[in-house]
Amino acid sequence: MATSTEIQAAERSFQHHFASIEQQRDTATFGMWMFLLTEIMFFGGLFCSYLVYRHNYYEAFVEGSQKMNIILGAVNTAVLICSSLSMAMGVRAAQMGNRKLMVILLLITIVFGFGFLGIKAVEYHEHWTNHEFPGPNFHFETGDPAHPATDPLHTEIYFGLYWAMTGLHALHMIIGIGLVTWLVIAGMRGAYSPMYYSPVENVGLYWHFVDLVWIYLFPLLYLISHKHS
Amino acid sequence: MATAVQPVVERETYLNSNYGLKSWLLTIDHKRIALLYLMSITAMFWLGGFFAMLIRLELLTPAGDLLSSDTYNKMFTMHGITMVFFFLIPSVPAVIGNFVIPLMIGAKDLAFPRLNLASWYIYMLGAGLALWGFLFGGVDTGWTFYTPFSTAYSNTHVVTVALGIFVVGFSSIFTGLNFIVTIHRMRAPGLTWNRLPLFIWSNYAASLIMVLGTPVVAITLLLVAFERLFHIGVFNPALGGDPLLFQHLFWFYSHPAVYIMILPGMGVISEVVTCFSRKRAFGYEFVALASIAIAVLGFLVWAHHMFVAGISMYSALVFSLLSYFVAIPSAVKVFNWTATMYKGSVRFDTPMLYAWAFIGLFTVGGLTGVFLASLGIDVHVTDTYFVVAHFHFVMVGGMVVAYLAGLHFWWPKITGKMYPEAPAKLSALLVFVGFNLTFLPQFVLGYMGMPRRYHAYPPEFQVLNVLSTAGASVLAVGYVLPMIYFLWSLRYGKDAGPNPWNAVGLEWMTPSPPPTHNFDETPVVTWEAYDYEHQPQEEITVGH
């Protein structure tokens, strides 16, 4: 089954403070889950702030949400879900020892990742030119300027959270693309085999987590009650 | 019996396995990384101590004469930030825990040795950022960074220092993550959860807080930085934000963080008390689970920092009640340590002296915490020196004393050398006397109404303040002494041998200092923790 080069590669990756390669794999995966737990708490602080202000300034949040480009957001959601699929298939390919397929699938994942960031950049540009960035140049008008339905300051908080949350998410995407690129390079050198693929598996977990954050961000930021009149 | 003359070959240890700066800066050996941490946090300790000294000197006289009020604000802020984030939080976990946890569980290293080294570099990066901010103007918000002062009004280096704390937070997250995974996955065969030393349990509990709490303060401080840089307005009422939200998010981490600053210390005390009483820990399971209970309850009490900040009466009531509950597991620990000593063969070595100091001072610190948890008293003493005295009893009287107990207890294991016993006992005495002289008067001052964070005060408070400053000087001598004799012992100390205290525990079954891979053979554990009853009662031969 395993070729001699695969066995050598697995032996090179074995760290001697572990009793066995199984223990090493278990430990790495457990560590990644713990890390994702810290990530949940990290984003949790932002989600908590979001919930507080959405509750306090619901109308203003609806107003802000109207400015979101739902088409681009939905396309991006689809792009990310596809990237998770290719990532999952890449992990499977690594598990099966199909090196070429793994590299191709990971490259597809990278392309999807860049696709997401590109579309996000278009949206950011749109908001930027519309002065929908918090700070002295922030400008926001609703309906009749003489009788604004909501306080623009509150909509500014919506946009502050929008930029902070999606910005941190985008930063995670950039880190994820870097990690997958590293997997591709190491994978082409034959570092992974059915005996040793935990980096692929764990970067996969990270990728799915970042994807999942977006799955929550999309409805929370883009889809707040569009029936509001 | 004739013995052949053997050439003396020096045994290979983690210290002499290779030499040179590079072998230290690129090491992935948990024992060497622990020493890197030891050196870094010691430097930060003296820096924080320097700020404390300036504070105490200013308070020697009622007039604000030594420091201007702005400089004084910066001093107590930088004292708090340095001591909390750069000394206390990493103290026992990153130094002693890093060194002994793998040894205690019979592992060759932590689960992620490279991550361990990375967390030291992250610590250094965070410390560098904070020092940069201190050096080029300082920061004056208080270590709590309360908004909107920190986001809208303070004209100091808030962003630099907050980013320093953000960065150092990841060092603590990675250390905690490494400990949790190590304790789950790397235990020696036979070392079940119920056989783990209590030091492991308490570090496990503290690691849970590091992993679950630290990310929240990280994002909170990041939002403070965003608010200063981009005016996102989340915490600024002038921009529609809510400063109370900041306090909720900040204390959601920073209250549990108080338990990061005490749980590992409690673990040290459990080790020391059992060893120098020659007895199994009384109620082992209860002490172990009390650590977990403190960690869990710690996440449910944060709003007791906000009783006068405008939270509703009902939530104040609930948080007050929940805060009382923390006293239960804490008391379980104190009672069980004293019960362990009861009818034990108690010895009076330096670590045990520190352990006694800990039990006494922690009890006072903990009980005054119950005072503060009750709403009526809290309203009276909020933001006074009563609060200052309370948390210094827990953090200095508790954690720093426990850290010193641990350093003395494991110093022979770390270096292979004994420290001199007489000056060590003297330093333990000086620390205890100096500490009480410094902080007992502050309880009185606070109760009489002296507010914290002012550089001037009415003349009638002077006597107690002079006492406090005098005590701080004694305390400083008590801290300088160990620094001197620990360094002295590296060269002149007697060889310690593998087990100078005749203690049980896997870390004492390997030579001192340990070889790089800790154990020549992976140990198999067939006994309970603290199995002193079945241990031959040999005389302790070294160190007197």
Contact (CB<8Å) A27/B215: no
Q: What is the DSSP string of B422-435?
A: HHHHHHHHHHHHHH
User: Is the predicted pLDDT of residue B539 greater than 50, yes or no?
Assistant: no
CA gap B295, B304 in Å, rounded: 16
To the nearest whole Å, the CA of B336 is away from the closest chain A CA by 32
DSSP label of A196: B
Domain count, chain B: 1
**CA A37 → CA A101, A168, B387, B470, distances in Å?**
31, 16, 33, 47
Which candidate, B381, B408, B472, B458, places its Cα nearest to that of B63?
B458
Contact (CB<8Å) B233/A153: yes
In a domain, B457, yes or no: yes
Which residue type occupies A129?
T
Q: What's the pTM?
A: 0.93
Contact (CB<8Å) A27/B173: no
Which candidate, B439, B453, B505, places its Cα nearest to that of B149?
B453
Query: Is A17 within 8 Å of chain B by CB?
Result: yes
Instruction: CATH number of the domain at B313, please.
Output: 1.20.210.10
User: Tens digits of per-residue pLDDT, B124-145?
Assistant: 999 999 999 999 999 999 999 9
Contacts of B196 (CB under 8 A, 6+ apart): B104, B105, B183, B187, B288, B529
Long-range contacts: B506-511, Cβ < 8 Å, 24+? B506/B103, B506/B104, B506/B105, B506/B106, B506/B188, B506/B191, B507/B100, B507/B103, B507/B104, B507/B410, B507/B413, B508/B413, B510/B103, B511/B11, B511/B13, B511/B416
Contact (CB<8Å) A160/B220: no
Q: In B266-291, which positions are buried (b, 16+ CB within 10 angstroms) versus exposed (e)?
A: bbbbbbbbbbbbbbbbbbbeebbebb
Which of A35, A46, A57 is nearest residue B177 as measured by Cβ atoms?
A35
In a domain, B217, yes or no: yes
CA gap B371, B59 in Å, rounded: 26
> Which among B232, B242, B249, B520 is the top mutation candidate for probing chain A, defined by the most A β-carbons within 10 Å of its own β-carbon?
B232
Answer whether B176's CB lies under 8 Å from B145's CB.
no
In a domain, B6, yes or no: no
Q: For B218, which residue in chain A has the nearest alpha carbon?
A: A42
3-class DSSP state for residue A164?
Answer: helix
Q: ipTM score here?
A: 0.90
Q: Burial of B208 by CB count in 10 Å (0-12 exposed, 13-18 middle, 19+ buried)?
A: buried
Which residue type occupies A14?
F
In a domain, A87, yes or no: yes
Answer whether B543's CB lies under 8 Å from B350's CB.
no
Answer whether B168's CB lies under 8 Å from B120's CB.
no
Which of A19, A151, A163 is nearest residue B240 as measured by Cβ atoms?
A151
Q: Please give the interface size between A and B, counted as residue pairs whose CB atoms are below 8 Å apart.
A: 114
Domain count, chain A: 1
CA gap B48, B53 in Å, rounded: 9
Average pLDDT over residues B259-271: 96
Residues of B in contact with A160 (CB under 8 A): 226, 230-234
Quote the radius of gyration of chain A (alpha carbons, Å). 22
Contact (CB<8Å) B239/A151: no
Q: What is the pLDDT of residue B536?
A: 57
Answer whether A190's CB lies under 8 Å from A5's CB.
yes
Count other Cβ atoms within 10 Å, centred on residue A161. 25
* Token pair recorded at residue B399: 């954690």
3-class DSSP state for residue B505?
Answer: coil
CA gap A180, A185 in Å, rounded: 9
Q: For A136, which residue in chain B has the nearest alpha carbon?
A: B231
In a domain, A94, yes or no: yes
Instruction: CATH number of the domain at A116, please.
Output: 1.20.120.80
Express as a percent the part of chain B with pLDDT over 70. Answer: 97
Average pLDDT over residues B368-380: 93
Q: Which domain holds residue A86?
A: 42-138+149-222
In a domain, A229, yes or no: no
In a domain, B341, yes or no: yes
In the predicted model, residues of chain A with pLDDT beneath 50 are 228-229
Contacts of A156 (CB under 8 A, 6+ apart): A134, A138, A140, B232, B233, B239, B240
In a domain, A132, yes or no: yes
Q: What is the pLDDT of residue B3?
A: 57
Q: In A13-49, which positions are buried (b, 16+ CB within 10 angstroms) versus exposed (e)?
A: bebebbeebeebbbbbbbbbebbbbbbebbbbbbbbb
Which candidate, B93, B89, B179, B95, places its Cα nearest to that of B127?
B89
Q: Which domain holds residue B40?
A: 26-524
3-class DSSP state for residue A96?
Answer: helix
To the nearest whole Å, the CA of B5 is away from the closest chain A CA by 35
Average pLDDT over residues B221-248: 90
User: Is the predicted pLDDT of residue B544 greater than 70, yes or no?
Assistant: no
Q: In B140-161, which positions are buried (b, 16+ CB within 10 angstroms) versus exposed (e)?
A: bbbbbbbbbebbbebebbbbbb
Contacts of B291 (CB under 8 A, 6+ apart): B198, B201, B202, B204, B205, B263, B266, B267, B329
Angle at B464 between CA B461 and CA B465, to 5 degrees: 80
Q: What is the pLDDT of residue B541?
A: 45
User: Is the predicted pLDDT of residue B543 greater than 90, yes or no?
Assistant: no
Lowest-confidence region among A143-147, A187-191, B387-391, B395-399: A143-147
Which residue type occupies A46?
L
Contact (CB<8Å) A153/B245: no
In a domain, A209, yes or no: yes
User: Is the predicted pLDDT of residue B388 greater than 90, yes or no?
Assistant: yes
Q: What is the pLDDT of residue B361?
A: 97
User: Tens digits of per-residue pLDDT, B55-79?
Assistant: 999 999 999 999 999 999 999 999 9
3-class DSSP state for residue B417?
Answer: strand
Answer whether B69's CB lies under 8 Å from B455's CB.
yes
User: Is the predicted pLDDT of residue B170 greater than 50, yes or no?
Assistant: yes
Q: How confident is the model at residue B4 (pLDDT cuts 50, 70, 90)?
A: low
In a domain, B388, yes or no: yes
Phi then psi dihedrals of residue B230, to 5 deg: -115, 5
* Token pair recorded at residue B143: 């270590």
CA gap B506, B529 in Å, rounded: 10
CA gap B221, B163 in Å, rounded: 7
Answer whether B162's CB lies under 8 Å from B81's CB.
no
CA gap B37, B15 in Å, rounded: 15
Answer whether A69's CB lies under 8 Å from B242's CB.
no
3-class DSSP state for residue B495?
Answer: strand
Phi then psi dihedrals of residue B59, to 5 deg: -85, 5
Q: What is the pLDDT of residue B328?
A: 96
In a domain, A14, yes or no: no
CA gap B261, B401 in Å, rounded: 12
Long-range contacts: B307-314, Cβ < 8 Å, 24+? B307/B375, B307/B378, B307/B379, B307/B382, B308/B378, B308/B379, B308/B382, B308/B383, B309/B244, B309/B247, B310/B244, B311/B244
In a domain, B3, yes or no: no
Q: For B228, which residue in chain A has the nearest alpha carbon?
A: A135
Q: How confident is the model at residue B111 (pLDDT cuts 50, 70, 90)?
A: very high
3-class DSSP state for residue B242?
Answer: coil
A148: left (phi over 0), alpha (psi -120 to 50) or beta: beta
Q: How high does pLDDT run on average in chain B?
A: 93
Query: Is A56 within 8 Å of chain B by CB?
Result: yes
> Which among B178, B219, B220 is the top mutation candidate for probing chain A, defined by the most A β-carbons within 10 Å of its own β-carbon?
B219
CA gap B333, B150 in Å, rounded: 38
Q: Which residues of B touch A (CB under 8 A)?
A: 107-109, 111-113, 115, 173, 177-178, 180-181, 184-186, 211-216, 218-220, 223, 226, 230-234, 239-242, 245, 249, 517, 522
CA gap B480, B423 in Å, rounded: 11
User: Is the predicted pLDDT of residue B282 greater than 90, yes or no?
Assistant: yes
Residue with tokens 């908004």: B147
CA gap B378, B18 in Å, rounded: 56
In a domain, B231, yes or no: yes
Q: How confident is the model at residue B5 (pLDDT cuts 50, 70, 90)?
A: low
Contact (CB<8Å) B232/A41: no
* Token pair recorded at residue A139: 């400008």
In a domain, B542, yes or no: no
CA gap B68, B495 in Å, rounded: 51
Directed axis angle between helix B462-492 and helix B421-448, to 10°? 160
